[in-house]
Amino acid sequence: MFARLSTYQGSPVPAEGDLGAQSEEIVRQVQDVPGFRGVYYLVDRATGEAKSLTLWEDERSMRESEELATRIREETARREGQQVVTVEHFEVGFSHLGP
């Protein structure tokens, strides 16, 4: 499995703000892309830093989704008043989600 980690910087997020407001739209755009396995969106409300982590079946799938990923990142950042700081690629060494 492979992962793309994107880092964003924006304004602090109010404690009562809805972080998942656009999640359905974002997931809809990527869920049928070959090799897509999941997504996490991480936010530090106090600093406005956010990270999106997408998971891919293999490196090829991740690389072939790059154009779509770039478009989604740029649209999301613009809508949320953020800037894309970095985009990194990793092989997943292991994963575990507890019950």
Between 24 and 40, name the one with better pLDDT.
Answer: 40
How much is the pLDDT for 61? 98
Asked whether 70 and 43 are in contact (CB, 8 A), the reply is no
Q: Is the pLDDT of residue 13 over 80?
A: no
| Tokens describing residue 8 | 């964003």
pLDDT of residue 19 exceeding 80, the answer is: no
Inter-CA distances, 43 with 17, 46, 49, 63, 90, Å: 11, 9, 6, 25, 20
Average pLDDT, the chain: 91
Q: Which residue has the higher pLDDT, 7 or 17?
A: 7
pLDDT at 58: 98
d(CA 83, CA 74): 8
In angstroms, the Cα distances linking 18 to 2, 6, 12, 72 are 28, 20, 13, 19
pLDDT score recorded for residue 14: 73
| Token pair in block for residue 43 | 């936010």
